Amino acid sequence: MTIDNNHVVSLGYTLNTIEANGEKLFVENTTSENPLTFLYGVGMMIPKFEEEIKGLTVGDKKTFTISPAEAYGERQDDAVAQLPIDMFQESGIPPVGAMLPLSDNQGNNFNAIVVEVTPETVVADLNHPMAGKTLSFDVEIFNTRPATEEELSHGHAHGVDGNEAH
């Protein structure tokens, strides 16, 4: 069975970023014991990632690269927020490098990274952590199957076999 829209896909991957000098830096990986499992074709993954694995079957392996423009976009130097230090009185002032859970005016949740703390503000970088990065994937397909009606109505996979509770 080949990967197509409305299929549940389980795969292993190794993700590296490719630096300007061509060096690959390890980011993360998954294994057959802890695969990435998702509903293909419903917008859960980077579109270019899905494009690259479409039509693969169980056991197939593939290596591909995704440019920043096709992944998380280019870094925006002006995408920073100066948050008043008072916002952190109850939770404590986050250290530089901390991930801050934030939401925009439309209620969309996202994370920002603390880049500076002053007596008045916490400066947060609003770029996605992978913005501006070229992504290199090595993938291996472990399983693909048609999604169940319940998975399709929920808009996400219920595990490798479709029986995972949530």
Arithmetic mean of pLDDT over the chain = 93
Sequence ranges of the chain with CATH classification 3.10.50.40: 7-72+131-154
DSSP per position, 1-57:
-B--TTEEEEEEEEEEEE-TTS-EEEEEE--SSS-EEEETTSSSS-HHHHHHHTT-B
- Please check the confidence at residue 43 and state whether its pLDDT lies above 80: yes
Encode pLDDT of 118-147 as tens digits: 999 999 999 998 999 999 999 999 999 999
What spatial distance separates the first Cα and last Cα of the chain, rounded to whole Å?
A: 27
The counts of H helices and E strands in the chain are 2, 9
pLDDT score, position 102: 87
Give 162 or 135, the one with higher predicted confidence: 135
Q: Which of 109, 52, 50, 114 is nearest to 82 (CA)?
A: 114
Burial of 125 (0-12, 13-18, 19+ CB in 10 A): buried
| Mean pLDDT in residue range 1-5 | 95
pLDDT at 165 over 70: no
Pick the CATH number of 80-125 from 3.40.50.1860, 2.40.10.330, 3.40.50.880, 3.20.20.150: 2.40.10.330
pLDDT at 41: 94
| Each residue's pLDDT tens digit, 82-129 | 999 999 988 899 999 999 998 888 888 888 999 999 999 999 999 998
Give the CATH class of 7-72+131-154.
Answer: alpha beta
